[in-house]
Structure 1
Amino acid sequence: MIDEIIKRELASALSHKLSVKIQINQAERIHGGDINETYRLMTNEGDWFLKLNDAKRFPDMFLREYDGLEELRQANVIAVPKPLAHGVAGNRAFLVTQFLEKGTAAPDFWENFAAAVARMHQTTQSYFGLSGSNYIGSIKQYNTPYVSWPVFYAFNRLMPLAKMAYDKHRMDKAMLDQLEAICKRLPELFPEEPPALLHGDLWSGNFLVGTDGKACIFDPAVYFGHREMELAMTRLFGGFDTRFYYTYQAIRPLAPGWQKRIGLCQLYPLMVHLNLFGGNYYNDVKEVLNGI
């Protein structure tokens, strides 16, 4: 439960943000998130979804997530929860979005999902990155603009996480040297592609079936990147139905050799997990590095 002080401050902050008097009738805890406290907020204006976290530890996390949701919504190709408000109540940072009701998957759910992601990836810009850094999980994600994907991937993704893991003693010097050597080879490993709008953390835990039977995606780590990153991410932690991949490939075929680059693209999320959780992720990262 949310304590009464936070509830009053949250109601006041939401009233100010939304320019309407908000009364929180009930906050029902929802389990499943690893990083944030999550709730179903029942208010006089309807039910909303609430995330809470430490305002000092992650001062701009929810601002960045709010912006990422807006970026995906502007593409207007796939359902995304509408972000309503973000801010600080007491010592807690908050994000309030539309509450998503779950439905039953339509017979063509996976085909429709793949087509929507393919259309999302057609949204492009002149550089890889984003206007500012954001987060993947609780780890800062750097989005310094580069026109070269290999340079972006090396300097904004792999090397910052390698340094973090090495400093935490979750990566040894031999693995660090191996990763640095691979970063130098990235220009020869990746085919050239225009920057694509990516959800950035698209796995089975970050979508649900909406009431219309179609996919709705949430918890983004948005940036403009190489679209093979997105497809490789979907293959981790259980993967998607094979119909998703067949349909995507039929609509927007990946460059030849994409199968050999799956591990290379999965290095980033695996290193995120190595930094967050340690353990067996060391062996997962090592296996990928040895296979490149």
Structure 2
Amino acid sequence: MMDETLLTSLSAALSRQLGVKIQINRTVSIAGGDINDTYRVESNEGQWFLKMNNATLYPSMFAKEYDGLQTLGKTNAIKVPKPLLYGTAGAYAFLVTELITKTRPVNDFWENFAASLAQLHRQSNSTFGYHTSNYIGNLKQYNTAYSSWPVFYAMNRLLPLAREAFDQQKMDKETVQQLEQLCKRLPEIFPAEPPALLHGDLWSGNFMVGDHGKACIYDPAVYYGHREIDLAMTRLFGGFDTRFHYAYQAIYPLSHGWQSRIGICQLYPLLVHYLLFGGSYYADIKAVLQAF
């Protein structure tokens, strides 16, 4: 059962945000992840989705997620839950968003999903990066702007996580050096491509079949990057039909040789998962490095 103090704070915050008196009638626990507890909030003015976590452990996490959802939503390219508010109450941080109801997929669900993602990726920026740092999982994600994708990917993605893994004695010096050598070769590996607005953590656990049987994406780690990163992530853990990949390629073709870059594009999420969960991800990282 949810803490009464938190319920009182949440009711007050919702009342201020919406300009009407909100009475929370019930909260229903929904299966959450490793970091957050999640609930369906039922009130006199409707229902919302609530995420909560430890405010001390993850400072500003929900402020960053709110920002990312706003950025994605403003494009009108693909459905995201509309963020309502975020805040803290005692030891808890919370984020309230639109509640998305799961539905049955339309017949052309995957083709529609691919078209929407392609439209999102056509939203560009003058540099690679983002106006603020944010999170991927519970790891800080740095988004310092660079005009070069290879430099951005090395400086903000691969090298910081490799050094963190080394500092935690989870990665040996030889593997770090292999990563450093690979980073020097990134300019010859990646063809020039304009910055694309990315979801940033696009695996099958971060989308659902929402309104009108179409895709809704959530839990973003937003930044402007190379669009092959999002696409490689969809291939890493499964859950995306081949129709999705064929449709994307037909709508917004990837540059020549994209297949050979999948492993390099998956290095970042592999490093993230290795730092978070350990296990076989280290062997996966080594396999990618040995291939190059």
Tell me the TM-score range normalised by the shorter chain. over 0.9
2:99 matched residue in structure 1: 99
Answering whether residue 159 of structure 2 is matched by residue 191 of structure 1, we say no
Using the TM superposition, give the Cα deviation of residue 32 of structure 1 relative to its aligned residue in structure 2, in angstroms.
Answer: 3.6
Letter in 2 for 1:142: Y
Mapping of residues 78-117 of structure 1, within 5 Å = 78-117=78-117
**Following superposition, which runs of at least 4 residues in structure 1 exceed 4 angstroms of deviation?**
none
Please name the residue that 1:4 is paired with: 4
Partner of 2:230: 230
Aligned to 1:76: 76
Per-residue Cα deviation, 1:15-47 (whole angstroms, up to 9, x for no partner): 223332221111111114121111111111111
State the Cα distance separating 1:279 from its structure 2 match. Answer: 1.1
Percent of residue pairs bearing the same amino acid type: 64
Give yes or no for the alignment of 1:53 onto 2:22.
no
- C-alpha separation in 2, matches of 1:211 and 1:199: 19
Letter in 2 for 1:41: V
CA distance in 1, matches of 2:130, 2:22: 34
- Residue in 1 aligned with 2:212? 212
Aligned to 1:289: 289
Q: Is 1:260 matched up with 2:260? A: yes
Q: Offset at 1:57?
A: 1.4
Structure 2 residues not aligned, in runs of 5+: none
- The Cα offsets for residues 193-228 of structure 1, whole Å up to 9 and x where unpaired, read as 000000001111101011301101111000000000
Q: 2:279: which partner in 1?
A: 279
Structure 1: tracts of 5 or more residues without a match:
none
In the other structure, the counterpart of 1:25 is 25
Displacement after TM superposition at 1:170 (Å): 1.2
Separation in 1, partners of 2:75, 2:134:
19
Does structure 2 conserve the Cα–Cα contact (< 8 Å) formed by 1:18 and 1:85?
Answer: no
- How far apart are the structure 2 equivalents of 1:139 and 1:210? 28
Determine helix, strand or coil for the equivalent of 2:211.
Answer: coil
Q: CA deviation at 1:6?
A: 1.4
The answer to whether the aligner puts 1:176 opposite 2:196 as a matched pair is no
CA distance in 1, matches of 2:18, 2:12: 10
Q: What is the alpha-carbon distance in structure 1 between the residues aligned to residue 13 and residue 88 of structure 2?
A: 8
Match of 1:35 in 2: 35
Q: Which of 240-249 and 10-19 deviates more?
A: 10-19
Counterpart of 2:135 in 1: which secondary structure?
strand
Matched, 1:203 2:203: yes
Question: What SS does the aligned partner of 1:235 have?
Answer: helix
CA deviation digits over 1:75-106, x for unaligned, max 9?
A: 10111100000011111110000000010000
Secondary structure at the aligned position of 2:69 is classed as helix
